[in-house]
Structure 1
Amino acid sequence: MTDIFVNLPITDLEQTRTFYTALGWEINPLFSDENAACIVVDTNIYLMLLTRDFLATFTDKTIIDTTTSVQAMTAFSRESRADVDALMEKGLAAGGTAPRGAQDYGYMYSRDLEDPDGNILEFVYMDPAAAEQGPDAFMEQQNPEG
């Protein structure tokens, strides 16, 4: 079994806790304190929200300013387009922002949400047939005339 811990720099721990719990995710108190909040996304998937100073104790590299630079975009699959939109609306209501509009590729639908610190979360729905066949084969089946 592999657990995935995504470490994200944050500035305001309470604001960040409120934002992520508004998405419907829980905090694991065993790994949360005045420097960090462990957000349980799903079985074996966690977001470690670390104050910038605390995150800096784990690396010798510069912690980027997430309001102006992107280190990573963390994507979460959803069960449907409606699930993508619902989670996005929860995030916007909790203080997140939408850096760009929805992306609809026919086989895949995604929306990006920035948390209050500018960390980018992507919510994605992919048609199960496209995930199984690959997007090119799926789109060819949808439009065999070309």
Structure 2
Amino acid sequence: MTTLAFVNLPVADLGRSTVFYEALGYRFNPQFTDEKAGCLIISDTIYAMLLVRPFFGEMFGRPVADAHATTSIMVCLMVDSKDEVDRLCNAAIASGGRKYKDVEDRGFMYGWGFEDPDGHVWEVGWMDPAHVMPEGEPA
């Protein structure tokens, strides 16, 4: 079986978060979406479960951190091009997110980041495949 990744993030307003991520071009899986949770489809193997804060807290039985005040996770997505990095970050900022990191361009690696409306930090990057493949492997 292919390994699937589910990142679980608490959100204050599921409707607002849904609109925000849809503005970035993502969709939600209706089978795993209700009034407490939204299953954000990032790729065929990567999902983010956006869980309303009380539900998220019930799952763990301890206080939920305020991502605006503390940092406990950074979600990093690698995409196919520098243009896609810029598209995602610019769409996030235009849709209510906040720029968290300036563009870093090292030639073979490019990226920058944003905070979503709940303060979760997302970094979006691109790497030249020729620099990440093991020696002898086709890019």
Structure 2-normalised TM-score?
0.90
Identity of aligned residues (%): 37
1:70 aligns to 2:33 (yes or no):
no
| Residue identity in the other structure for 1:79 | D
Structure with a larger share of its residues in helix = 1
Structure 1 residue 83 displacement after superposition? 0.9
Structure 1 residue 30 displacement after superposition? 1.0
Secondary structure of the corresponding residue to residue 46 of structure 1: strand
Distance in 2 of aligned mates of 1:99 and 1:132: 29
| Residue identity in the other structure for 2:6 | F
1:113 aligns to 2:78 (yes or no):
no
Residue of structure 1 equivalent to 2:57: 56
Distance in 2 of aligned mates of 1:31 and 1:90: 25
For structure 2, the 5+ residue unaligned runs are none
Distance in 2 of aligned mates of 1:121 and 1:12: 18
Distance in 2 of aligned mates of 1:103 and 1:69: 23
1:9 aligns to 2:19 (yes or no):
no
Distance in 2 of aligned mates of 1:99 and 1:30: 32
Distance in 2 of aligned mates of 1:107 and 1:81: 10
Distance in 1 of aligned mates of 2:17 and 2:107: 33
Residue of structure 2 equivalent to 1:85: 86
Q: Which has more radius of gyration?
A: 1
Secondary structure of the corresponding residue to residue 41 of structure 2: strand
Distance in 2 of aligned mates of 1:102 and 1:4: 27
| Residue identity in the other structure for 1:86 | R
| Residue identity in the other structure for 2:77 | F
Secondary structure of the corresponding residue to residue 88 of structure 2: helix
Distance in 2 of aligned mates of 1:107 and 1:64: 35
Q: After superposition, what is the alpha-carbon deviation per residue over 1:54-106, rounded to whole angstroms, capped at 9, x for unaligned?
A: 00111133311100111111111111111100111111111111022112233
Q: After superposition, what is the alpha-carbon deviation per residue over 1:3-54, rounded to whole angstroms, capped at 9, x for unaligned?
A: 1110001101111000011111111111111111111111021110001110
Q: Count matched residues.
A: 134
Residue of structure 2 equivalent to 1:129: 130
Distance in 2 of aligned mates of 1:62 and 1:105: 39
Q: After superposition, what is the alpha-carbon deviation per residue over 1:103-132, rounded to whole angstroms, capped at 9, x for unaligned?
A: 223321111111100111111101111112
Residue of structure 2 equivalent to 1:36: 37
Secondary structure of the corresponding residue to residue 64 of structure 1: coil
